[in-house]
Amino acid sequence: MAKQNNLLIFILTIGVFGILNTEMGVIGLLPSIADHFHVSIPKAGWLVSFFALGVAISGPIMPLLFSGIDRKKAMLLVLGVFLLGNIVSLFTASFTITLVVRVILAFFHPIYCSLAFTVAASSVSKEEAPKAVAKVFIGVSAGMVAGVPIASFIDSTVSYEMAMAFFAIVNAIVFIATLIFVPSMPVEERLSYGTQLSVLKKPIIWISIMTVILLNSAIFGVYSYLAEYLKTVTNMSPNTISLTLFIFGGANIIGNIVAGKLLTHSATKSVVFFPLLLGAVYIILFFTGQFTVPMAMITLIWGILAGGIMANINQYLIASSAPEAPDFANGLFISSCNVGTTLGAAVGGLFISEIGTGYVVLVGILSLILSLVVILMRNYMGSSSVQNNLLDKKSI
């Protein structure tokens, strides 16, 4: 049973990598995409922004609609759609068709990711669930961070077409592995749409969504402009910038391993102390960001906290607020993350244009202060709920 669970979680991890790789990998191909379709770089960037917007919109909707379907069949459907979409994107000569395909893929994206988290958590005991989810998040981190340099490397050393084919190949491998090795997973107790939507009546779910938006904003308000920061503030060379970004990506994976243990043993303390620790890192970054060696060390610590630990905390916050509707909750998580990413990047760009690149770190600090306030509100609401339940039991 343990071996079967490990294989299942491994397939889910690679599957999530394939989905996120399709979403983020094109960032490293934007110059080639612009040349291939004869469009400007900003227009090529629509392939990224429209995808993110599609995920934000479909996040709560699509997992809800597919919540009653056999989970293996739903995952195979999504992987098949992604495989077909990547093949179409590889062979089409029309930028419009590629953009439409990307939007369609974006709408299916939350189905697989939310199912991956749900299946991973349900495949082990309740106490071990955070560790299982953390393993799947390694695929998220790898897809978001490693996918960009891998696609860029294939593009520069082989061809643009092979880089696009890489996305399809990963999805094809996971499709075959899922078909052969993943057992049928029918939904034993199907929840009605009304039951799942009723979790939105709970104040704690909205507090959790707000927390996730603020935490993601704190990360991506700064990380979105890290390359520019390293270039203009730290004065790093292009090769050193690439190495520093690679350090950040590798640290993400370390963070996922650490997060699983933290949330298993002390979830509440981990959530409360996270914004304080990241805030301290940002303050140090603000005052020492112009120095190469300290910046590299800060990036390592930042990567562990930001990409790994924060992502797991965000998923835990929303999933634990609505355990009765796990698929819908994970959809809300995915949507909230994308809203936070978009908000953070927009505010970060505003700070850069108004007061300079060196002050973009303030976006992260301000978001963390607000997130800490909301986290404390959430903890208070949670403790009040527990006390009320105890009083109800005593009265009975």
CATH code for the domain in which residue 224 is found: 1.20.1250.20
Question: Same domain for 359 and 332?
Answer: yes
Determine if residue 38 is left, alpha or beta; phi over 0 gives left, psi from -120 to 50 gives alpha, anything else beta. left
Model pLDDT, residue 145: 67
Q: Buried b vs exposed e over 6-29: b needs ≥16 C-beta within 10 Å?
A: eebbbbbbbbbbbbbbbbbbbbbb
Model pLDDT, residue 390: 35
Model pLDDT, residue 2: 66
Question: Same domain for 323 and 238?
Answer: yes
Model pLDDT, residue 350: 85
Mean pLDDT of 277-287: 94
Question: Same domain for 177 and 269?
Answer: no
Nearest to 341 by CA among 17, 45, 56: 56
For residue 81, being part of any structural domain is answered with yes
Mean pLDDT of 274-278: 93
Question: Same domain for 172 and 195?
Answer: no
> Which residue among 188, 218, 237 closes a domain?
188
Cα 153 versus chain centre, distance: 23
**How far, in Å, CA of 75 to CA of 113, rounded?**
9
The domain total for the chain is 2
Question: Same domain for 266 and 184?
Answer: no
- The pTM (predicted TM-score) of the whole model is 0.76
Question: Same domain for 199 and 92?
Answer: no
For residue 393, being part of any structural domain is answered with no
Q: Is the pLDDT of residue 134 over 90?
A: no
Mean pLDDT of 194-203: 85
pLDDT digits (tens, 9 = 90+) for 23-57: 878 877 877 888 899 988 778 878 877 888 888 88
For residue 395, being part of any structural domain is answered with no
pLDDT digits (tens, 9 = 90+) for 339-374: 887 788 888 888 888 888 889 899 999 999 999 999
Higher pLDDT, 182 or 144: 182
Query: Distances from the Cα of 26 to the Cαs of 163, 211, 351, in angstroms?
Result: 9, 29, 26
Amino acid at residue number 114? S
For residue 396, being part of any structural domain is answered with no
- Which helix (H) or strand (E) segment holds residue 248: the answer is helix 238-265
- Which helix (H) or strand (E) segment holds residue 313: the answer is helix 311-321
pLDDT digits (tens, 9 = 90+) for 140-164: 777 766 777 788 788 878 888 898 9
Average pLDDT over all residues of the chain = 84
**How far, in Å, CA of 161 to CA of 169, rounded?**
12
For residue 274, being part of any structural domain is answered with yes
Question: Same domain for 177 and 63?
Answer: yes
For residue 182, being part of any structural domain is answered with yes
**How far, in Å, CA of 50 to CA of 52, rounded?**
5
What tokens does 125 get? 């005991």
For residue 295, being part of any structural domain is answered with yes
| Cβ–Cβ < 8 Å for 279, 228 | no
Domain that holds residue 70: 1-188
For residue 373, being part of any structural domain is answered with yes
Nearest to 164 by CA among 103, 222, 101: 101
> Which residue among 141, 173, 188 closes a domain?
188
**How far, in Å, CA of 393 to CA of 70, rounded?**
37
Question: Same domain for 181 and 63?
Answer: yes
Q: What is the CA radius of gyration of the chain?
A: 21
| Cβ–Cβ < 8 Å for 19, 75 | no
